[in-house]
Every structure is written in structure tokens, then in C-alpha cells.
Amino acid sequence: MKELPNITQVLRNTFQTLIDQFVEFVPRILGSIVILLIGIAVARLIAFIVRRILSRVGFDKIGSRLNEISIIKQLNTEIKLSEILSKVLYYFVLLVFITAATETLGVGAITEMVSSLVNFIPKVIAAAIMLQVGVLLADTLRVAVLNVCQSFNISSGRLLSTIVFVFFIIITIISALGQAGINTELLESSFNIVIGGGIFAFAVGYGIASRDIMANILSSFYSRSKYIEGQMIQIDDVKGEILKVDTMSLTLKTGETTTVFPLQVLQTKKIEIFS
């Protein structure tokens, strides 16, 4: 028959092991706390210095350009890049010290998790820069499209410029997510399908709806050199003096009234010119 274990000795050994581990673990905790406190102080100091330097060199002017974009104005949010970058740098430095603190603590799972966050921050910074550049580029293209449409008196210029802006913003967001290490294959394929169908439907619908407008615009290129203000012409049974020729229409002074013709009639109607 086996002898029963000495309960007192077992308990003594257990408590002794706990005490030894606790005594060994306390210096690690204290060391981790000291490293963490130093990290907080260093991170705050670096963030403060970087914020002051960036604000002095005019880095916030880029953020001011972003604040002028209409979609950002609607969010009622002011973007100050010096504060954003200093905050990101603060947490980056802090996470580096947290990694050192967890290594001192000897907890492998926490160390791996914090290390992955530290490695992820540079990707986030690169994605944020790409997103910022993309927003500025999209807004520049929006303004360019709007100006071109206004120069041709296209009434739907604001709609077209907004579509261009949204299109490039979505492309920028997808690219930024890919830069951050997020798988965007499904998002890209869905976006391509939606954009392809949308462009086809818009092209067909807009082409049918604006064929008269395009006909007038094209007619202006061919007819402006032939017809000048003050010239007497007759279109069918309407005779009068040309008051104005723009990209869409021709205005005639016919007696006490004025008559406006779309420019495409200059290509489809019989025109008589009186010298």
C-alpha cells in the first residue's frame, strides 16, 4: 500500500513556488512600469516638438486646402495635419516603448500583439498620405471638369464633376486600403462591375438626352467663322440682324422682337446671307 503524500509538505512547496514566482515577477512589473512612464514622457515630448515644427513651417496649409473641399465642409470637421501627424507619432513611439515593456514583463502573447500594431502604423501613415493626395487630385479634377462644362454652357456640369470626384475618391480609398495591407480584391471586383454598368447606363442615357446640346456645340465650331454680329441673314422665313452668337444659340433682331435659334439649325436649314 502506497503512503499518502505529506499534505503539509505539498502545500509548503506550492506556496514557496508562488512566493518565488511573485518575487521574480515584481521587478519585471516595476521595470515595465518605469519603461512605460518613460515612453509616455518621450512620446509626448516628440509629439509636441513635431507639432510645433510642422505648424511653423506651414504644413497646415495643406490641411487648409483639404478643408476647402465641399465634401469635407459638409462634415463640419477642420483638418489640422500637424496635430494629426503628431498624434500618430505619439502613439507610434508609445507602442515602441510598450513593446519593450511587455518584453521585460515576459508575456509573449502581448508582445506579439503590440509588435504587430507597431508594424501596422507605417502602413497606415502611407495609406493616409495616399488618401490625402488622392482627395486633392480628385478635387482638382472636379474643378477642371466643372470649368470645362461651364465654358461650353453644359447645364449638367456640376453633376459630371461630382461623378468624376466620387469615382477618383473610391479608387483612392481602395488603393489606400491595399497600401494598409487590407485585402481589397472583392471590393475591387464589385467596384468594377458597378462602375462598368453605371458608365454604360449613363453614357446611353446622357447621350440620348443631350444629343441636341452636342449638336449645337459641334455646330458652333463649324459656323462661328461664317456668321458675325451685325450681319443680316434669313433662316427659312425669318430675316433679321445677328445680335449674338454663342456656343449654343444664335440671336436675331427681327423687327421689334428677337428670335433665338439653336446653332444646329445653321447646319440643317437654308440660310441666306445679305451683304
**Model pLDDT, residue 182:** 78
Task: Report CA dihedral (254, 258, 262, 268) to the nearest 10 degrees.
Answer: -10
Tell me the pLDDT tens digit for each residue of 166-223.
Answer: 888 888 888 888 887 777 777 777 777 777 766 766 666 555 555 555 555 555 555 6
In a domain, 64, yes or no: yes
In terms of Cα–Cα distance, which of 55, 152, 255, 210 is closest to 63? 55
Are residues 92 and 138 part of one domain? no
Are residues 171 and 227 part of one domain? no
251 has a pLDDT exceeding 80: yes
pLDDT, mean of residues 249-262: 80
Structural domain containing residue 232: 213-274
Which of 165, 186, 209 is at the close of a domain? 209
In a domain, 115, yes or no: no
Are residues 51 and 20 part of one domain? yes
CB burial class (10 A; 0-12, 13-18, 19+) of residue 138? buried
Are residues 217 and 200 part of one domain? no
Question: Mean of the per-residue pLDDT values for the chain?
Answer: 76
In terms of Cα–Cα distance, which of 233, 264, 227, 234 is closest to 249? 264
Taking CA 224 as the corner, what is the angle to CA 218 and CA 229, rounded to the nearest 5 degrees? 145
CA within 13 Å, CB half, 97: 20
**Model pLDDT, residue 37:** 92
Name the strand (E) or helix (H) holding 149. Answer: helix 108-151
Tell me the pLDDT tens digit for each residue of 18-56.
Answer: 776 666 777 788 888 888 899 999 999 998 998 888 888
Query: Which CATH number is 142's domain given?
Result: 1.10.287
Name the strand (E) or helix (H) holding 257. Answer: strand 257-262
Name the strand (E) or helix (H) holding 113. Answer: helix 108-151
| Grid cell in block for residue 138 | 480628385
**Percent helix, strand and coil across the chain, each rounded to 5?**
70, 10, 20
3-state class (DSSP) for residue 243 = strand
Are residues 142 and 85 part of one domain? no
pLDDT higher at 172 or 63: 172
In a domain, 96, yes or no: yes
Alpha-carbon span 237 to 260, nearest angstrom: 14
In a domain, 117, yes or no: no
**Model pLDDT, residue 242:** 78
pLDDT, mean of residues 98-112: 77
Are residues 227 and 204 part of one domain? no
Whole-Å CA distances, 90 to 34, 37, 237: 18, 13, 79
Are residues 130 and 101 part of one domain? no
Alpha-carbon span 119 to 96, nearest angstrom: 10
pLDDT, mean of residues 118-137: 80
| Alpha carbon 187 to chain centroid, angstroms | 16
pLDDT, mean of residues 85-90: 85
Are residues 134 and 49 part of one domain? no
**Model pLDDT, residue 1:** 46
pTM: 0.54
Name the strand (E) or helix (H) holding 121. Answer: helix 108-151
In a domain, 112, yes or no: no
Count how many domains the chain has: 3
Are residues 89 and 1 part of one domain? yes
